[in-house]
Every structure is written in C-alpha cells, then in structure tokens.
C-alpha cells in the first residue's frame, strides 16, 4: 500500500471508526461466541500473495466484531472504564506515523521532553506536592508506564534495591540473597492481584494486611504486623497502599500509613489506578491527602481521563532511586548529552526498553478538553453512580455493599450467594448490559461501574429496569 | 470533539501522516535541539478551557517536529529498524477505536483468539517446530509481548519458578531464598543489556560467557562454566542465547548450546529480536536451526516485519510453564469459560495486566502484503547492506569488523578509536544521516544498519559519499 492508497483507506477507516462509535449501542455489549469460534473462520496460514484490502475490512465485520466485548458501549458497566476520546485517537495516529522509539533522549528528544512536561502538567492538575515534579531542577518526576501493574513492580524493585543497600551498609557480611529472604512487603487484602504478583516477580514476601469495616487499610494493623515481623528478624521495606480498590473502590488511610512507613524506612507506593483521575476535581482531591508521605504514586489516565490505553502515570520523589534499580549503560545507547544532568533516559525508569510517543495523547487531550471538560466527565460519571445507588436503595430486595465514592456501585440481592450468582448469569446471558462480580466479606457482590464516555442517565435507568426485571423472573422460579 | 468533527480531523490527520512520510527525506534525520528545548516552547500548565484543535496541530510543527529523530527517514541507519507500514497503521486506528482490554478471554474473545491464531500463522511462516504452536490441541503457543526485554524477563521468571520446584522436590528443606542464591543464568558477553537486567529484576546471578572470534557463543565455553559453577554448589537453570546480537548481529550456536541445556535441565530462551523477521526467507531459515532444542523463542515483528511498535512475538513449548510462574486468580476476573481448556487468558503470560488488540496489526499486514512481499523487504535490506559492505571493502582506509549476515554493517577507519569517534561526531553533527556506534574487541566501531522501509540504493550510495567526504576532511586535520 502506497501513500496514495493510504490517504483513501485512512479516510475510510476514520469513517468506519466514527460509524462504529456512533452506533455502538446497536451491538450486543457482550459477544455470543464460544471459545475457539475464530479459528474456524479464517485460513490456517498466512497467504503467499497479497489479498485485497477490501477483503480484510469485510472480515472485520465477519470475524472480529462478533467476538468483541464492546468496552465503549454505554451499556458496559464491567471492570473499570478504559478511556477513549477522539483527540486521543488522533494523537495516536500521529504517534504511529512518527513511530520513534523513545528509550533515550537522543532516540527522539521530543518524545522524552514532552513526556516530562506532560507529567508535570498532570501532576499540577492533581495538586501533587512539588517534590514529585521534575520542573527544571527537581529531584522527582513522572514517567508513563504501560500499566499500573508495571508501576507497582518498578516501585517494588526500586524499594528492594534501596533496602538491600541499607541492610548491607549495616551488615556487610550478608549476601543479597540472604537479605532478600528477610525482606517483607505489605499491601491490603483488598489490593489488586498485581501487587501480590509484583512480590512474586521480585522474589520477596508480600503480606496482606486485613482492612477495617470500610475495606480500608489502617495504621494500627499495619504497625502491629510490622512489629511482629521485625521481632521475627524480618526487614519490612515496602507498602503498596491503594486509593480506590478494584473490588469496591475503598481507600487506604494514607495519613495513618505514611508516618509509619517514613519512620520504618519503608517505601510507600500509592496505587490509585482508577480513582486517580478524579483527583483533578477539588471535591475529590482530599482523597489524595497524605500523598506527600509517599515515595511513589501511580494512576491510569487510560482508565478515566480520556486517554486511550496505554498511559499509566507514575511519579517518584527521587528519580535516582528508580534509576538506580535498573541502570545499565551499554555502549550502543550512550550519547553525547547524557551526562548533562538536563536530560532523561526513560529506559532506566521502566521494565521494557522500547517505548511509544504516548505523551502526544496527553497533550492532545489536555489541550482540546481543557481541565474543566475533563472534570465534567468525572462529575457526570460520579453523579450517574449516585443515581444508580439511589435506585438500588429504593428497592428493598437489594442492598448496597460498600460506600459509593466515585463511579462504582457494589450491590446485591439480599439473599444467598447462589441467588446473586444466578442473577449475574442471567445478566451476562441476556447481553443487554455487562457487569462483573466481586467478593466482599465472603459475599458474592455485583459491581456496577459507570464506564463509557457516552453513558447517560437513560442508560442507567434502563440498566436498572433490566436488572429488576431479571430479578423478578428469578425470584418467581426455583434456582437450579 | 464529536464524531462529526472527528471525521473531519481524522481525514486531515491521515493526509498529514501521508505528507509527513512522503516528504520525510526533506527533514534533517537527527534534530538540532539542546536538552530542555521543549519546556520553554509550551505553557507550564494545562489550560482550564479547551483550546482549538488547529492550535494543537500548528504546535506539532512548531514544538514536536524540530525535536524528532526521524526513524523512518531513508537516511536513518542507527540502532535497529523499527517497523512501519500503512496497513499496520490502519489496523492500529481500528485497535484504538475498539479499545478493548484483552486481559482475559471474556474481556474480548476476538482479541485473544486472533492473537493465538496470528501467532500460529507467524510461527508457520518461520517454520517453527509444531511444538511451539497452539493449534487446537498443542501444549505450546504464542503471545504478543510489548518488547523483547519483557519476553526475556518472562522466560527467566518461568525458568526460575521451574528450577525452584525442581530443587525443592529433591531438597525440601531449602527455602526459596536459599535456592535463589544458588541459581545461575548465562548469556553471551554480546547479549543485549536487557538480559543482564532480567537477572537483576529476578534476583538471580547472570553470568556472561565469552564468545568466539565471530562473537558467537559456543558450547565448549558454556559447558566449562556450568561445570565450574556446579562444582561450586551453584544451580545452572537458564540460558539466553541470541540470534543477531545488537552490537554486530552475530549468532550464538544453538546446535551446540541446546543439547547442553537439555542435558542440564536448563531453560534455553532464544532472543532473535532483530534477526527473527529474516527467518521467513528460506535462505535465512538455517540461522534458526537448533530452535527445536529451545524452551522459548522471541523476536520483534515491530523491528523488521512491517508491524508498528509494539509487537514482540514470543512462543513457548509448554504454556503451563509460563502460566505457572504468574497465575493468580482474583475473583473479579473469573469467568464461565475459563476452565474449559479451550481458552487462553493472556494476562498469565505477561508482566502487565492490560493489553491492546495488537494482533489486528499482524492480520492486516500479513494479508495485505502476503508472505512474498514481506520476504521482498527483508531481501532488499540485506542486499543494500551487502552493497554498503562492498563500498567499505573497496576503500582501503576502512575495514569491516564483523561478518555481514543481514542488514547491519559494522565498520571503522583503520586507525585509533579517537579517530573513529571523531568521524561519528561529524556524522551526527551534520544531520544528513544518523548512525550509532558499538564496541567490538575493545574497538570503537560504527554501525550502519538498513532501517527504513523506503531506503533505496541511492540513499546508501549517498550515505557512503557523505561518510567518505567527512573522512577525507577529518584526515586532513589534526584531531582535537
């Protein structure tokens, strides 16, 4: 395909995309396919000779679309949102065309520098303490990771490296492996599975601390566990606190946890993957209080800030901590400017080497929306969640299972887990809306999360009618 | 921005992209900016109110383009190529619009299933042994990782997990930490720095084995090191062999290394990040001989197979090995079909949780090019490298520093390292072409790699004229 054909096909694709998103409601939100459906629809090998582009596009509707879960349908209320917006998609097209790999400053200076400045812009939107910003002479700074899981892992590895150095400076006779075996990290029992996984990858113990009645991690229980572990000869070195847990969007108490971590020389990483976007609204910013006590902070603009996946924003107070954990300097990546102190080689901040020009998406979205219109989206979603909460509360057959703070409502039929499982099964099967469950205090709970940019009140009302209709039918019949 | 405006802006962007790529030669390949150039060109904070889209696009030329290293310019001969093609960009636009997150089968079945089948297609193109393919009842299979660095890390973690289980089954009294401290991994001294980094992250020893005169890792030296390490009580568990090293595109000897790894119960991972794409040509396929002895294999279609970054293709012989190293099953990600055996939840195959619908790019490229046209590109690039090699060999002032197998030529002026450094400095400063150096046997060497899809013979000829002109000038003057 040459540039001329690309001009034509690209414009057709833009129309296809606009059509898809404008009419997405007409498609069932959850696909009606069985595992293995796709393999039978296409050949077993790639063609020797080129096929026509028309054939490929025809197959998008025949092969792909029937198997897509439509995350941007206004009837999608599952998991957490994944963000999208037209300016973000436009920036991504440009990113694909420039197609530079930004592992070092020299590999494409604009790619590195725009990222640093965009992370400062975003940090200021959240009113992050200055110590997290790069500015022109700061010690902190931001980096775009691919996902929150990677940010957690990077923070844990930086903390591990720092802890090993600290322990070795006191006990030079200890080997790295011996120190690893004594290191212990903590997170709440409500934390995302990727935190436990970071411990697994890093080869260190990761303990889950119980939460309070609000599913919030509190200082007392952490303190108690630390004391016990220290008495047993272990070395506490890392806490991953969560703001907005995946199960029920609960918030750990940073103001209690922070001072403990600081006193114990423990790294505090704060994961606000979903909730973080809301902190651009002054009324939600108090949820971030205590962040000044943290060593690193992360949230996903690709969840709720109109920027298409992937764009996970991570800040550290001391960039030397994070760089120190990874820095290796091969000859073929050395360049003239790297010792100037002014430049950033982002490959030292992350697990992969290569990286896309993702900050273009931030730049396009922040400027074409402006802070106010981004706040509008957050507020609209929270209001819709509150609206759904009221509907649930007004129906005595149901109960709300966790405080509704942002866009997530956890609810269930008052009754057995089996009953609620049966309800979810019917919801999934009907394919009119899509939800996923969680488990809270041993109970099977339904999660209703406002996800799509274009979800409106009437979608929420219709979803509730649908849920109550299925509940009505379910309660008429014996469960099997 | 609504759908209507996106239709307009999207079409403008398509034209901008086509213009950019059609006229890319007119831009200096390497930017003329100093560190920190960008921050002064834009405001210090995001705007409160929306700005016009025209203003943003105007700033692309004012702020971004002056700081871009143009990786797709036919005058770019640095690093290794990063792939691009129009069909790949079109698929990426579609990927952004669907915007599903494919962490599990249920999260978007098409996303998972197309990936499995595309990885089979690609595996067949390379004539990978069947044991690496998923098929309908295989034990192996492929996954798209973001980068080769991640593939190496995932392989190392899977190997580590397997080794710990094996050692513990013989010595149940050993703790995991004690076993970690005895584990030892190997790679060649020519391997990419990300291999050493994988050891660092995984908390295991990574030893660099010396290579032969061809910069190739051979069996004898590995065997010797293993014997010594075992005698010292260590447990060899992992080898990362490279096909096409970053420095000079040398090839480790799989047919010697494989039997040793198999006999010693060591995991052999093969990293062919750059060279892998060439194996779709029958004449280069012998370079992959011995792959049947490996446990995992990886290469980057996003380097040399027309698929835009990111798309790193990884296969394993036993998918349970890789899944076993990561699998955690949180409640909110359980779904009905997951125990059917037919489905794949790719989150267990990788470091991040979320993932884009990257297999669309493979599908669009493989079909619109067909295998033959992809082979054409590889062959053209190799021929251009040979052409450059002849030019160098014909000039007695220069020498070739490593065998030219694919698209990379390592060369230098016969003379001091300082002289060659001075030459590279002039090349970089002139901004007409772009190269990076490497170090081979203590010598400073220039790497000339055919990178862009549109590089032709006249670009190579012009580049050589430019290099010889700068050399002529350099040799006239004293070096300072």
Q: Name the average pLDDT for chain B.
A: 95
Reported confidence tier of residue B82, pLDDT bands at 50, 70, 90: very high
Q: Confirm or reject contact between A110 and chain B (CB < 8 A).
A: yes
DSSP element (H, E) containing B109: helix B109-125
Nearest CA in chain A to B200: A326
Is A89–B96 a contact, with Cβ atoms under 8 angstroms apart?
A: yes
Q: Find the closest chain B residue to A351 by CA distance.
A: B150
- pLDDT class of A477 with cuts at 50, 70, 90: confident
Distance from CA of A466 to the nearest CA of B (A): 21
A342 touches chain B (CB under 8 A): yes
User: Looking at the predicted structure, is the pLDDT value of residue B462 above 90?
Assistant: yes
* Interface contact B309, partner A, CB < 8 A: yes
Phi, psi of B37 (to 5 degrees): -60, -35
- Please tell me which residue of chain B has the smallest CA distance to A174: B181
CB contacts of B336 in chain A (<8 Å) are: 425, 428
pLDDT confidence tier of residue B314, bands split at 50, 70 and 90: very high
**Candidate from B107, B109, B331 with C-beta closest to A37:** B109
Residue A77 forms contact with B (CB below 8 Å):
no
Rg (CA), chain A: 24
Residue A443 is classified by DSSP as E
Q: B-chain residues within 8 Å CB-CB of A351? A: 149-150, 153, 201, 351
Dihedral sign for Cα B141, B108, A194, B337, please. Answer: negative
Q: Which residues of A touch B86 (CB under 8 A)?
A: 1-3, 5-6, 9-10
Say whether A3 and B10 touch across the interface (CB within 8 A): no
Cβ B327 vs Cβ B156: under 8 Å:
no
C-alpha B106/C-alpha B395 separation (Å) is 61
> Taking CB atoms and an 8 Å cutoff, what residues of chain B touch A13?
14, 90, 93-94
Task: Tell which residue, B309, B32, B321, has the closest CA to residue B149.
Answer: B309
Of B11, B157, B202, which has the smallest distance from its Cβ to A14's Cβ? Answer: B11
The answer to which of A66-70, A345-349, B144-148, B360-364 has the lowest mean pLDDT is A345-349
Q: Which residues of A touch B337 (CB under 8 A)?
A: 34-35
Q: Which residues contact B209 (CB under 8 A, 6 or more apart)?
A: B186, B187, B188, B189, B217, B221, B222, B225
| Inter-chain touch A326–B3, beta carbons under 8 Å | no
- Indicate if the pLDDT at residue B136 is higher than 70: yes
- What are the residue ranges of helices labelled H in B171-265? 176-180, 193-202, 219-231, 254-263
- Calpha distance A27→A431 (Å, rounded): 9
Give the distance from residue B88's alpha carbon to the nearest chain A alpha carbon, in angstroms: 9
* pLDDT for the residue numbered A341: 58
Distance from CA of A91 to the nearest CA of B (A): 9
Chain centre to alpha carbon of residue A398: 29
Q: Looking at the partner chain, which of A93, A105, A331 has a beta carbon nearest the beta carbon of B17?
A: A93
Distance CA A309, CA A236 (A): 34
Strand partners of residue A207: A186
Nearest to A351 among B153, B353, B436 (CB): B153
B460 burial (CB, 10 Å; 0-12 / 13-18 / 19+) is: buried
Chain B residues near residue A197 by CB distance under 8 angstroms: 326, 328
Look at A46 and B371 and tell me if their CB atoms are within 8 Å. Answer: yes
A404 has pLDDT over 60: yes
CA–CA dist B75, B24 (Å, integer): 10
Using an 8 Å Cβ cutoff, are A297 and A291 in contact? Answer: yes
Helix, strand, coil distribution of chain B in percent, nearest 5: 50, 15, 35
With H, G, I as helix, E, B as strand and everything else as coil, classify residue B238: strand
Instruction: Tell me the chain A residues in contact with residue B402 when contact means C-beta distances shorter than 8 Å.
Output: none
Q: Which of B154, B194, B201 is nearest to B349 (CA)?
A: B154
* Least confident span in A81-85, A283-287, B279-283, B343-347: B343-347
Give the Cα separation of A134 and A125 in Å (integer). Answer: 14
Identify the three-state secondary structure at position A267.
Answer: strand
Q: What is the mean pLDDT of residues B68-94?
A: 98
What angle do the packed helices A219-231 and A254-263 form, to 10 degrees?
A: 20
The model's confidence at residue A289, banded by pLDDT at 50, 70 and 90, is very high
Residue B315's beta-bridge partner residues? B142, B297
Query: Is the bond preceding B464 in cis, omega lying within 30 degrees of 0?
Result: no
Q: What is the pLDDT of residues A14-56, one digit of tens each?
A: 999 999 999 999 999 999 999 999 999 999 999 999 999 999 9
Residues in chain B, how many? 480
Task: Give dist(CA B121, CA B366) in Å, integer.
Answer: 9
Residue B29: which H helix or E strand, with range? none
User: Average pLDDT for residues B390-419, to the nearest whole number?
Assistant: 98
Q: Residue A333's pLDDT is what? A: 61
Q: Which of B67, B89, B246 is nearest residue A110 as measured by Cβ atoms?
A: B67
**What pLDDT score was predicted for residue B175?**
87
Output the pLDDT for position A29: 97
B472 in contact with A at a CB cutoff of 8 Å?
Answer: no
Residue B31 near residue B52 (C-beta atoms within 8 A): no
Mean pLDDT of A156-179: 93
ipTM surpassing 0.85: yes
Nearest CA in chain B to A12: B11
Q: Tell me the DSSP string of B346-406.
A: GGGGSSSS----THHHHHHHHHHHHHHHHHHHHHHHHHHHHHHHHHHHT-TTEEE-S---S
- pLDDT over 60 (residue B338): no
Element (H, E) at B187: strand B183-188
Residues of A in contact with B273 (CB under 8 A): none
Contact B331 A247 (CB under 8 A): yes
Between A317-331, B224-238, B274-288, the lowest mean confidence (pLDDT) is in A317-331
Mean pLDDT value across residues B53-64: 98
Average pLDDT over residues B351-364: 95
Q: Which residues of A287-325 are buried (b: 16+ CB within 10 A; e: fewer)?
A: bbebbebbbbbbbbbbbbbbbbbbbbbbbbbbbebbbeb
Are B284 and B378 within 8 A, CB to CB? Answer: yes
The DSSP bridge partners found for residue A242 are A271
| Contact assignment for A108 to B71 by CB distance below 8 Å | yes
User: For residue A480, is pLDDT > 70?
Assistant: no
In angstroms, the separation between the Cα of residue B202 and the nearest Cα of chain A is 6
Which residues on neighbouring strands pair with residue B439, listed in sequence order?
B444
In this prediction, residue B259 carries a pLDDT of 98
Tell me: pLDDT of B63 over 80: yes
Helices marked H in B1-108: 3-22, 53-59, 86-98
Q: What is the mean pLDDT of chain A?
A: 95
**From A44, A124, A343, residue closest to B45, measured CB to CB:** A124
Contact yes or no for A18 and B36 at CB 8 A: no
User: Tell me: the pLDDT tens digits for A91-142?
Assistant: 999 999 999 999 999 999 999 999 999 999 999 999 999 999 999 888 999 9
Per-residue pLDDT at A325: 82
Q: Compute the count of residue pairs across chains A and B with CB atoms less than 8 Å apart.
A: 472
Residue A310, preceding bond cis, omega within 30 degrees? yes
Specify the 3-state DSSP secondary structure of B207: strand
| Window B:376-415, CB contacts with A under 8 Å | none
Find residues 149-188 of chain B whose CB sits inside 8 Å of chain A: 149-150, 153, 157, 175-178, 180-181
Residues from chain B that touch A69, judged by Cβ atoms under 8 A, are: 100, 106-109
Average pLDDT over residues B319-332: 76
**B156 and B203 Cβ atoms separated by less than 8 Å:** no
Q: pTM above 0.90?
A: yes
Which of A47, A110, A176 lies nearest to residue B64, judging by beta carbons? A110
β-pair partners for A43 = none
Set of chain B residues whose Cβ sits within 8 Å of the Cβ of A356: 309-310
| Gap from A48 CA to chain B (nearest CA, Å) | 5
Segment B398-411 mean pLDDT: 98
């Amino acid at each position: 395909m040459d540039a001329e054909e690309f001009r034509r096909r690209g414009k057709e694709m833009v129309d296809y995309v606009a059509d898809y998103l404008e009419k997405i409601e007409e498609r069932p939100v959850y696909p009606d396919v069985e595992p293995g459906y796709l393999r039978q629809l296409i050949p077993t090998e790639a063609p020797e000779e080129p096929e026509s582009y028309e054939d490929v596009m025809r197959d998008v509707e025949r092969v792909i679309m029937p198997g897509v879960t439509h995350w941007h349908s206004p009837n999608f209320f599952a998991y957490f949102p994944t963000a999208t917006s037209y300016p973000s998609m436009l920036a991504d097209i440009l990113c694909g065309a420039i197609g530079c790999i930004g592992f070092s400053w020299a590999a494409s200076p604009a790619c590195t520098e725009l990222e640093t400045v965009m992370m400062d812009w975003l940090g200021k939107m959240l009113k992050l303490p200055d110590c997290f910003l790069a500015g022109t002479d700061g010690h902190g700074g931001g980096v775009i990771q691919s996902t929150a899981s990677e940010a957690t892992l990077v923070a844990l590895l930086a903390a591990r490296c720092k802890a090993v150095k600290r322990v070795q400076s006191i006990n030079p006779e200890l080997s790295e492996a011996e120190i690893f075996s004594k290191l212990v990290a903590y997170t709440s029992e409500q934390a995302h599975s990727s935190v436990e996984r970071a411990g697994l990858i890093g080869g260190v113990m990761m303990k889950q601390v119980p939460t309070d009645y609000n599913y919030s991690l509190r200082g007392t229980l952490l303190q108690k566990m630390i004391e016990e572990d220290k008495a047993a000869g272990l070395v506490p070195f890392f806490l991953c606190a969560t703001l907005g847990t995946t199960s029920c969007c609960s918030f750990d108490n940073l103001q209690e946890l922070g001072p403990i971590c600081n006193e114990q020389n423990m790294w505090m990483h704060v994961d606000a993957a979903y909730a973080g976007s809301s902190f651009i609204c002054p009324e939600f910013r108090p949820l971030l209080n205590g962040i000044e006590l943290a060593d690193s902070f992360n949230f996903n603009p690709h969840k709720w800030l109109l920027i298409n996946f992937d764009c996970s924003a991570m800040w550290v107070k001391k960039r030397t901590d994070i760089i120190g954990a990874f820095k290796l300097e091969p000859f073929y990546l050395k360049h003239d400017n790297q010792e100037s102190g002014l430049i950033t080689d982002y490959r030292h901040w992350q697990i992969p080497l290569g990286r896309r020009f993702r900050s273009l998406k931030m730049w396009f979205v922040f400027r074409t929306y402006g802070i106010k219109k981004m706040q509008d989206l957050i507020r609209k979603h929270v209001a819709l969640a509150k609206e759904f909460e009221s509907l649930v509360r007004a129906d005595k057959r149901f109960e709300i299972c966790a405080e509704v703070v942002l866009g997530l409502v956890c609810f269930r039929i008052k009754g057995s887990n089996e009953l609620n499982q049966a309800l979810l099964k019917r919801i999934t099967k009907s394919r009119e809306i899509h939800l996923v469950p969680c488990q809270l205090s041993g109970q099977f709970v339904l999660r209703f999360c406002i996800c799509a940019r274009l979800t409106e009140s009437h979608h929420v009302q219709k979803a509730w009618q649908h849920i109550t209709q299925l509940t009505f039918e379910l309660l008429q019949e014996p469960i099997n």
